[in-house]
């Protein structure tokens, strides 16, 4: 179906080539636990089909309003100047050096929030790039016959940071909407033609006894 072709195109032609070593792309919802194994450079993007509305009648191919989720996850550790905190100082200097290093410690929640904002900007620009208005299908897979319309990231939602382990993990959800026609396989069967049925456009014989001109 068209949504599968679109899903694969976004994964293979937009997200994976756009990683630039800044995040890792996966094709399924991200689990919170065990997040460390999934993250590359502390950032991961999951892309998957979420839901769709199909409209159309018997005379037309169904039109599919699709919703895909771009699920973003980042992880951060607190940061401090460990070269100071793990060093021995003369007693007179020790308290001041350590207290300055501790007051400059950056909270993991703050760093996760900034990492997430950067990742949202990267992914938004990748998907909404002008040349990706048909989600790369027209450029890379035109033979699929799928035409994508009205591609738009309609919602960005950030969730509060969580700490499932040594790291602080933050998630966000980008909602991507688009439309495409769904091709139906097979051919509609024709009914049997009975006696007396007239076929439009076909030659109709003269009634019996009529004179030929």
Instruction: Name the site residues for another protein (rule: CB under 8 A).
Output: 29-34, 36, 77-83, 85-86, 94-106, 108, 163-168
> What's the sign of the alpha-carbon dihedral 88, 93, 96, 97?
negative
Q: Which is nearer to another protein, 87 or 147 (CB)?
A: 87
Q: Which is nearer to another protein, 71 or 141 (CB)?
A: 71
Nearest approach in angstroms of CB 122 to another protein is 22
User: Any bridge partners for residue 69, and if so which?
Assistant: 48, 175
Nearest approach in angstroms of CB 56 to another protein is 35
Residue 33 has which token pair?
């636990």
Nearest approach in angstroms of CB 52 to another protein is 22
Residue 190 has which token pair?
């024709």
Residue 11 has which token pair?
């994964």
**CB within 8 Å of 210: residues ≥ 6 apart:** none
Q: How far is CA 146 from CA 140, 166, 178, in A?
A: 11, 45, 12
Nearest approach in angstroms of CB 77 to another protein is 5
Are residues 119 and 43 in contact, defined by beta-carbon separation less than 8 angstroms? yes
Nearest approach in angstroms of CB 84 to another protein is 10
Q: Which is nearer to another protein, 33 or 192 (CB)?
A: 33
- DSSP-assigned letters across all residues of 36-69: HHH-BTTEEEEEEEEEEEEE--SSSPPEEEEEEE
**CA pair distance 72, 46, nearest whole angstrom:** 6
**CA pair distance 185, 182, nearest whole angstrom:** 10
Q: Which is nearer to another protein, 9 or 35 (CB)?
A: 35
Q: Which is nearer to another protein, 9 or 167 (CB)?
A: 167
Nearest approach in angstroms of CB 128 to another protein is 28
């Amino acid at each position: 179906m068209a949504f599968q072709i679109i899903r694969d195109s976004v994964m293979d032609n937009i997200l994976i080539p756009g990683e630039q070593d800044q995040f890792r792309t996966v094709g399924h919802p991200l689990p919170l636990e065990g997040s460390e194994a999934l993250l590359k450079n502390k950032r991961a993007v999951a892309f998957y089909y979420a839901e769709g509305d199909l409209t159309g009648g018997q005379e037309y191919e169904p039109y599919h309003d699709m919703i895909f989720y771009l699920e973003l996850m980042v992880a951060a550790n607190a940061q401090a100047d460990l070269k100071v905190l793990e060093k021995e100082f003369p007693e007179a200097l020790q308290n001041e050096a350590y207290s300055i290093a501790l007051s400059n410690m950056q909270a993991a929640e703050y760093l996760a929030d900034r990492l997430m904002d950067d990742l949202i900007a990267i992914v938004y620009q990748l998907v909404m790039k002008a040349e990706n208005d048909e989600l790369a299908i027209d450029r890379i897979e035109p033979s699929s016959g799928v035409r994508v319309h009205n591609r738009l990231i309609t919602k960005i939602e950030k969730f509060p940071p969580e700490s499932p382990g040594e790291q602080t993990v933050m998630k966000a959800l980008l909602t991507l909407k688009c439309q495409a026609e769904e091709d139906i396989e097979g051919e509609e069967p024709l009914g049997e033609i009975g006696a007396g049925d007239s076929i439009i456009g076909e030659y109709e014989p003269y009634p019996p006894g009529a004179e030929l001109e």
